[in-house]
Amino acid sequence: MTTSFPDAGIDLRELLSFYADAGVDEALGEEPVDRFAEAAKARASADAAAVERPSPPAPTPRENSQPATGSVPPSPAAPRATTPPPAMAVPDQAQAAAARELARSAGTLEELRAAMASFDGCNLKFTAKNLVFADGNPQADLMLVGEAPGRDEDIQGLPFVGRSGKLLDRMLAAISLDRNSAYIANVIPWRPPGNRTPTPHETEICRPFIERQIELVNPKVLVNLGGPSAKTLLNTTEGILRLRGNWREHVTPSGTAIPAMPTLHPAYLLRTPAHKRLAWRDFLEVKTRLRSLQG
């Protein structure tokens, strides 16, 4: 008896569509690798080496295998002392320190952008097409920070210009704002390959740049779009569903405290549209706070 799955094609199309929306548009390598062929080749090489290897000579029989009377049997060889391997240096620490120094020395957003463009300490720079610095009005009272650029952002060199960006534009319009009245950036300014999650080392290297960027913009209100942005800039380990809707503070390197609202990332809302109502509540809170600070 054959069991049919009439919805299998639909599920596959939905899965592929989800990957496309998420920006997963490339493999980790340029050419496919046949692992089975590699394994077979390795086994064949090992067999050939075993055939060619000469047999060890037979041991010569001793005249008397018993030790002489009164002799001391040889003691087994003492184990050779092993030297522990030297501690490996972590180059990321030096790169993070260099990033902190570059960020601290930037007196304007233009200088910060030039410093980031010249910085070679983050491996993501070498796989990305463009530095995604920011978009919007640096004089705005509101600044929004996401995690990292996607495919469309990497191509255009601007944050939130794909499907997530279009949704973000609608969310801003719902509270009477747009990109001329807000400033948008990311924690990570270079796209991770295949839209993978940035590593903790990559985030730590890039952290000084976004912290300095926030400090130079000095917004009245900061919105953290998604869990990674909130965890990095608010120094917390709580999940975004627990964080969202609750006012926190982002403290700049110079000690200025900025009101921060963690909320759900637009990409998450595209996958879970039922939670748009939660983000709507968060943006209403942001609108109310902005009005109170402007008045």
Model pLDDT for residues 60-85, shown as the tens digit of each residue:
545 444 444 444 455 555 445 444 44
- CATH of residue 160's domain is 3.40.470.10
pLDDT at 162: 94
Return the percentage of the chain with pLDDT > 90, whole number.
68
pLDDT (tens digit, 9 = 90+) per residue, 117-173? Answer: 999 999 999 999 999 999 999 999 999 999 999 999 999 999 999 999 999 999 999
pLDDT at 211: 98
- 190 in a structural domain: yes
pLDDT at 154: 98
Return the percentage of the chain with pLDDT > 70, whole number.
69
In this prediction the pTM is: 0.70
- The one-character DSSP state at 174 is T
- 256 in a structural domain: yes
Beta strand segments in 113-182, E:
135-136, 142-146
- 61 in a structural domain: no
- 229 in a structural domain: yes
- 210 in a structural domain: yes
On whether the CB atoms of residues 207 and 163 are closer than 8 A, the answer is no
Per the structure, the count of domains in the chain is 1
pLDDT at 89: 39
- 149 in a structural domain: yes
Average pLDDT, the chain: 83
CA-angle at 290, arms to 285 and 293, nearest 5° = 125
Task: Please report, for residues 72, 93, 190, 282, the alpha-carbon distance to residue 202 in angstroms, rounded to integers and kept in the order given.
Answer: 63, 11, 10, 29
On whether the CB atoms of residues 140 and 181 are closer than 8 A, the answer is yes
On whether the CB atoms of residues 107 and 254 are closer than 8 A, the answer is no
- 227 in a structural domain: yes
- 45 in a structural domain: no
> pLDDT: is 206 or 24 the higher one?
206
Q: Which domain holds residue 188?
A: 91-294
